[in-house]
Amino acid sequence: MKNKEIADKIIELKDADLNLRAKLVETGELFQAYNKEMEALHIFNATALHNIIDDIGYPTIDKVGKEANAAAWLIIQHAISLPPFMKKCLRLLEDAVSQEKANKIQLAYLSDRISILENKPQLYGTQFDWDENGELNPQQCDDVDKVNDRRKELNLNSLEEQTALMRKQAKSENESPPKDFDKKKQLYDEWRKKVGWI
């Protein structure tokens, strides 16, 4: 498969993800729990991308172009049922960033997502969820001042500005806090154990 075909394939996988997400936002199913159809698609996409990575290495901008590179990152971000794949991609993305062939912001988001899934504090404040008070907030961070310094280094807005944006987006998508916070947390922890994050 030539790199143009590979790029098109990665973009096609990403489009399927976003189309399903839009459908689930419309029906109100996206935010209740990890939707089974969505999880199955995330696993399918990650498996397809894994095969591509085995073939060409990490899909860096110089190999597949900006759009497919961003699409690959989105697929990796959503591969939460596959911890070994996400961790492998984190190492590959770190290498790509060190060679200036990938985006540092993508690395920040991926490392934060993995940290949160592993019950560790995030460094860039990119991951949000509803808290026990029904507020949408950044998940556990190591230190808010340090987080804002790191965000500034990447030309990201402040954590406070991002929180306001995330709350606005949640409102526009009719997302609301879970009716039973403890039950949601219990199901989330059971799922993380099942797939191997904790």
Tokens of 189: 């922890």
pTM of the model: 0.95
Asked if 59 contacts 72 with a C-beta cutoff of 8 angstroms, the reply is yes
Distance, CA of 48 to CA of 87 (rounded, Å): 16
Tens of pLDDT, residue by residue over 57-82, are: 999 999 999 999 999 999 999 999 99
Distance, CA of 64 to CA of 9 (rounded, Å): 10
Distance, CA of 116 to CA of 20 (rounded, Å): 24
> If DSSP states are collapsed to H, E and C, what string results for the chain?
CCHHHHHHHHHHHHHHHHHHHHHHHHHCCCCCCCCHHHHHHHHHHHHHHHHHHHHHCCCCHHHHHHHHHHHHHHHHHCCCCCHHHHHHHHHHHHHHHHCCCCCHHHHHHHHHHHHHHCCCCECCCCCEEECCCCCEEECCECCHHHHHHHHHHCCCCCHHHHHHHHHHHHHHCCCCCCCCHHHHHHHHHHHHHHHCCC
Tokens of 158: 């402040």
Confidence of residue 29 (pLDDT cuts 50, 70, 90): confident
Residue 125 has pLDDT above 60, yes or no: yes
Percent of the chain with pLDDT over 90: 90
Tens of pLDDT, residue by residue over 169-195, are: 999 998 989 989 999 899 999 999 999
